[in-house]
Amino acid sequence: MIDARRRWMIAAATAAVTASFARPAAAQDAPREGRDYRLVRPPQVTEVPAGKIEVIEFFWYGCPHCNALEPFLVDWVKKLPADVAFRRIHVPFGDRRHQQLFCTLEAMGKADALGDKIFRAIHVDHDRLDTVDKMTALLSRYGVDRKQFVDTWESFAVRTKMRRAAQVSEAFGVDGVPAMAINGKYYTSPSMAGSNQGALRVMDWLIAQERRAAK
- Give me the domain span that covers residue 85: 2-16+36-213
Question: Could you report the per-residue pLDDT of 99-154, keeping only the tens digit for each?
Answer: 999 999 999 999 999 999 999 999 999 999 999 999 999 999 999 999 999 999 99
Residue 79 inside a domain? The answer is yes
Residue 206 confidence (pLDDT) above 90: yes
Please state the pTM of the whole predicted model. Answer: 0.88
Residue 26 inside a domain? The answer is no
Cis peptide before 81 (omega within 30 of 0): no
The Cα-based distances of 9 to 4, 69, 93, 99 in angstroms read: 9, 18, 6, 14
Residue 23 inside a domain? The answer is no
Q: Tell me how far apart the alpha carbons of residues 100 and 159 are, in angstroms, rounded to a whole number.
A: 8
Check residue 29 and give its pLDDT.
85
Residues contacting 189, CB < 8 A, separation 6+: 15, 19, 176, 177, 178, 179, 180, 199
The pLDDT mean for the chain works out to 91
CA angle 92, 167, 179 (to 5 degrees): 60
Check residue 20 and give its pLDDT.
46
Residue 30 inside a domain? The answer is no
Residue 25 inside a domain? The answer is no
CATH number, domain containing residue 48: 3.40.30.10
DSSP for residue 52: -
Residue 58 inside a domain? The answer is yes
Q: Count structural domains, the chain.
A: 1
Q: Tell me how far apart the alpha carbons of residues 53 and 201 are, in angstroms, rounded to a whole number.
A: 16
Check residue 21 and give its pLDDT.
45
